[in-house]
Amino acid sequence: MLAAHKTKIVATIGPASESPEMLERLIRAGLNVARLNFSHGDFQGHAARITRIRAAAQAAGRRVAILADSPAQMRLGT
């Protein structure tokens, strides 16, 4: 059976919204997809955000998808 809601609520997670408390508030308010902008930041920073998103989703008892938004031209860090 198909889910009743086919639309998703997407929010970009960054410095202003990456605290565990804020993530849990967003998820409880209906966030379905957490978008990470891979144009900025590094691997360790994104990995830490993903860990916090997963923990907040578990605390809220919800499932949250991760959207890795990569730039059209990948940066190689040089």
User: Is the residue at 5 inside a domain?
Assistant: no
User: Is the residue at 23 inside a domain?
Assistant: yes
User: Is the residue at 50 inside a domain?
Assistant: yes
44: domain range?
A: 11-69
User: Is the residue at 75 inside a domain?
Assistant: no
Mean pLDDT across 53-70: 96
User: Is the residue at 76 inside a domain?
Assistant: no
DSSP calls for 24-54: HHHHHTT--EEEEETTSS-HHHHHHHHHHHH
Mapped onto helix, strand or coil, the DSSP state of residue 7 is coil
User: Is the residue at 44 inside a domain?
Assistant: yes
User: Tokens at residue 41, please?
Assistant: 């930041």
Cβ–Cβ under 8 Å, residues 34 and 53: yes
Based on the structure, what is the number of domains in the chain?
A: 1
pLDDT digits (tens, 9 = 90+) for 11-56: 999 999 999 999 999 999 999 999 999 888 888 999 999 999 999 9
Residue 57 has pLDDT above 90, yes or no: yes
User: Is the residue at 39 inside a domain?
Assistant: yes
